[in-house]
Amino acid sequence: MKVEARVFKNNGEGKILAGASITIENCFVVTGLKVMNGSNGLFVSMPAYKTKDGEWKDTSFPINKETRELIQNVVLAKYNEGESDEMPF
C-alpha cells in the first residue's frame, strides 16, 4: 500500500509537535493526524473528537497492526526529515 504524508510542524513546545495528513494510494486523503510527544517517545495520533463525557474517539483509523505501523512509520519519517509543509489554508 502506498502512503504519503504531509507534516505541518508547530513552532511551540508541548505534546502536539505537528499536524499531518496522509494520502493513500493517490486516491484517499485523511487529515487531522497529529505527531505527539508521549511518555514512550513520538507517536502518531489518529483524527479524533471529544465526547460529552470527555472521552476521545477516533474518527478514522487503521483496522490492523500492520497498517497502523505503516502509517506511523511514514508520518514519523516525514516529521524527522526536518522540513515542514505549508499549511493547506
Mean pLDDT across 73-87: 84
Q: Domain with 60 in it: what CATH number?
A: 3.30.1120.40
How do residues 4-60 score in pLDDT, each as one tens digit? 999 998 876 788 999 999 999 999 999 999 999 988 999 999 999 999 999 999 999
Domain membership of residue 34 (yes or no) is yes
pLDDT tops 70 at residue 88: no
Domain membership of residue 40 (yes or no) is yes
Residue the block writes with cell 484517499: 28
Domain membership of residue 86 (yes or no) is no
Domain membership of residue 89 (yes or no) is no
Global confidence as pTM: 0.87
Mean pLDDT across 72-84: 89
Is 3 in a helix, a strand, or coil? strand
- CB-based contact 9:84 (threshold 8 Å): yes
- CB-based contact 51:60 (threshold 8 Å): no
C-alpha cell at 74: 511514514
Q: What is the pLDDT of residue 85?
A: 66
Domain membership of residue 44 (yes or no) is yes
User: What is the residue range of 12's domain?
Assistant: 3-80
Number of domains in the chain: 1
Domain membership of residue 85 (yes or no) is no
